[in-house]
Amino acid sequence: KALQGRDVKVAHGLAESLEQLSHETPEFRREVTRFLDGLISHYVFDGGKLAVSHAGLKEHYIGRGSPRIRSFAMFGETTGEIDEFGLPVRYNWARDYRGATMLVYGHTPVPEPEWLNRTINLDTGCVFGGKLTALRYPEKEIVQVDAARVYCEPVRPIGYAKDVRDGDMLDLDDVVGKRIVETELARNIVIREENAMAALEVMSRFAVDPRKQGVTTVIAEEKHMGSRAIVVLGRDAEAVTRRFGTAGAGLGTVYTRTGRAFFADKAVEEAFLTRLAQAVETAGLWDALGSDWLCLDTEIMPWSAKAMALIEQQYAPVGAAAAHVLPVAAELLARAGQTEMAERMT
């Protein structure tokens, strides 16, 4: 606009550019004007899988063109505030980006390039003495060259703004509904909505401060590996029959988390329930609770008592393979001069 004689706000480095252009010939300035007018707001590559713009782009702007989109691609988005350095405060639009297109941008210098919601800022402040950064696509490899010197002192230190990268805030839309996870070495993994909801419910238990729920004391105990089990236990066989209407069920039953019988051997289950019922009786728990039956969420130890088949069929082969392979690998590393790594394997 300034080259066309229109009024513009001269700020943030524009004054220096205009001063330099003022020493050039009219023909050169016209050539620069034609070049700038011919530039597009952003590029889209690989069938829409990759987009590149100067200052970033919102998801619904990709592949479209308008003055607003061009302005966003050139200057990004601000909050309307001015920081202590007199520069506009950038709005972290990448934090809200949820597009499937990989978006590469710059404009706002950062100490190191980091991925955030399939976007990456490659402006690492080369002109300010930082690095010149490039991205290899589709490998997603970062290539960098250190600046030879500081060509211009930055008004605001690189990485000063706390909101340069603020991607730690969770978004519910990222974890609810059907999701497809792209993997590098195998096929895509489909996460069904019901599975995502169950996982979210489990994790939400840890998001509530126990003190707000009236919990004033926490007991920490050493963890012992066990197998999760649900135990339905009666004070005697008659109590089980009265409560559940099942005859011949004995003192109760033991289930896995998925509702299957925990013990394959009925005699082992009966012995376990008998011992547990005696322990409850000795502790006076029946009378304390005023009940003749209990449903217990338990951890039965040792873990190997239930998982012996898993140990023999899955873990043992892996352990045996490691025991044979690692010494050979350590020897090869030692020959190659990687003694420190070889020592870690022995």
Same-domain status, 184 and 126: no
Q: Is the pTM of this model over 0.75?
A: no
Q: Is residue 53 part of a domain?
A: yes
* Same domain flag for 45 and 165: yes
One domain for residues 295 and 319:
no
Residue 66 lies in a domain: yes
Closest C-alpha to 118, from 107, 108, 104: 104
DSSP 8-class letter at 181 = E
Domain that holds residue 326: 305-344
Q: Examine the domain organization and report whether 64 and 82 are in the same domain.
A: yes
Residue 28 lies in a domain: no
β partners of residue 234: 293
- What single letter denotes the amino acid at residue 48? G
A 10 A CB-CB count for 22 gives 8
* Gap between the Cα atoms of 82 and 156, Å rounded: 12
Residues 52 and 100 in one domain: yes
DSSP state letter for 261: B
Tell whether 19 is covered by a domain: no
Cα-based angle 34, 39, 44 (whole degrees, multiple of 5) = 160
Amino acid at residue number 88: P
Same domain membership, residue 134 and residue 47: yes
- In total, how many domains does the chain have? 4
Per-residue confidence (pLDDT) for residue 168, from 0 to 100 = 56
**Cβ within 8 Å of residue 159, ≥6 positions away:** 109, 110, 111
Q: In whole angstroms, what is the distance from residue 67 CA to residue 289 CA?
A: 72
Distance CA 148, CA 232 (A): 73
Domain check: are 48 and 142 in the same one? yes
The sheet that has 115-116: what strands, in order across it?
A: 42-45, 50-53, 102-105, 119-121, 115-116
Residues with Cβ within 8 Å of 251's Cβ and at least 6 positions away in sequence, in order, are 233, 234, 236, 237, 240, 270, 273, 274, 277
Whole-number pLDDT of residue 164: 44
- Element at 324 (helix H, strand E): helix 316-335
Full pLDDT tens readout for the chain, 346 residues: 777 777 777 766 677 888 888 888 989 989 998 998 888 999 999 999 999 999 999 999 999 999 999 999 998 988 888 888 888 888 889 988 989 999 999 998 999 888 888 999 999 999 999 999 999 999 889 999 999 999 988 888 886 654 444 555 667 777 788 877 777 777 778 888 888 888 888 888 777 788 888 888 888 887 777 888 999 999 999 999 989 888 888 999 999 888 889 988 899 999 999 999 999 999 999 999 999 999 999 988 877 767 777 788 888 888 898 888 888 888 888 888 888 777 777 7
On whether both 239 and 320 belong to a single domain, the answer is no
User: How do strand 102-105 and strand 50-53 relate by DSSP bridges?
Assistant: parallel
Instruction: Give yes or no: residues 263 and 321 share one domain.
Output: no
Task: Render 46-65 in DSSP notation, one character per residue.
Answer: GGGTEEEESS---GGGTT--
Is 182 within the bounds of a domain?
Answer: yes
Note whether residue 18 is domain-resident.
no
- Residue 184 and residue 292 share a domain: no
Q: Which CATH number characterizes residue 139's domain?
A: 3.60.21.10
Is residue 149 located within the same domain as residue 50? yes
221 domain-assigned: no
Residues 52 and 67 in one domain: yes
Assess if residue 240 is contained within a domain. Answer: yes
